[in-house]
Amino acid sequence: MGAGAEAVQLIHRPDVGRALSSPAAAEFVLRADRVAPRSARVALRRLALGSVAHRLLDVLLCVGEAISNAVRHAYPPGSSGEIVVKAWTHEDGLAVLVQDRGRGFDPDGDPSREGVGLRLMRRLADVVSILSRPGGGTAVLMVFRA
């Protein structure tokens, strides 16, 4: 099953779907530059993470990696773009969506070419779903269970 189908399935799961259809606890737009990961971490630290507060470092790492990937790969060198971050807090956990409108990639491509950042995300988040296609931007959804 491709990563896209996995994300769609995930969104249709009652628990995740309910969380994502509710208003985000935080939503912010970052310029895709080298300080973007830090800006997101500062914002997340100010958000009451409640049920996943004990996993704060892992949450910060995963979100930082998703944003770093967008900064490094989404937009052509020398051009600027935006990264949208949305976070939903829930008694069962936390969902974070990191989205860019950049060049995208084939998420079903060779997994051995995955970077360390994505490997870290897959190890530390309970769910990592990537929706992307060449030219169509990238959305990374991460779920951290309580």
Partner 1 sequence: MVAPPDTSEFRVAVEVLPTVVLVLVAGEVDLATAPAVAEAAHRGAAEANGDSPLVLDLSAVDYMDSSGLRMLNELRTGFGDRLALHRPSHAVVRVLEVTGMAAHFSRVEAY
Which of these ranges, 7-15, 56-64, 99-107, 128-136, lies near partner 1 under the rule CB under 8 A? 56-64
Q: Which of 77, 2, 87, 89 shows the shortest CA–CA distance to 33?
A: 77
What does the block give as tokens for 128?
A: 């990592």
Residues with Cβ within 8 Å of residue 120, at least 6 apart in sequence: 61, 62, 65
Which of these ranges, 26-34, 75-83, 92-100, 105-113, lies near partner 1 under the rule CB under 8 A? 26-34
Residues with Cβ within 8 Å of residue 12, at least 6 apart in sequence: none
Site for partner 1 in 99-118 (CB under 8 A): 115-117
Note whether 84 binds partner 1 by CB under 8 A: no
Q: Name the residues that contact partner 1, by CB under 8 A.
A: 28-30, 34-35, 37-39, 41-43, 46, 57-58, 60-61, 64-65, 68, 71-72, 115-117, 119-120, 123-124
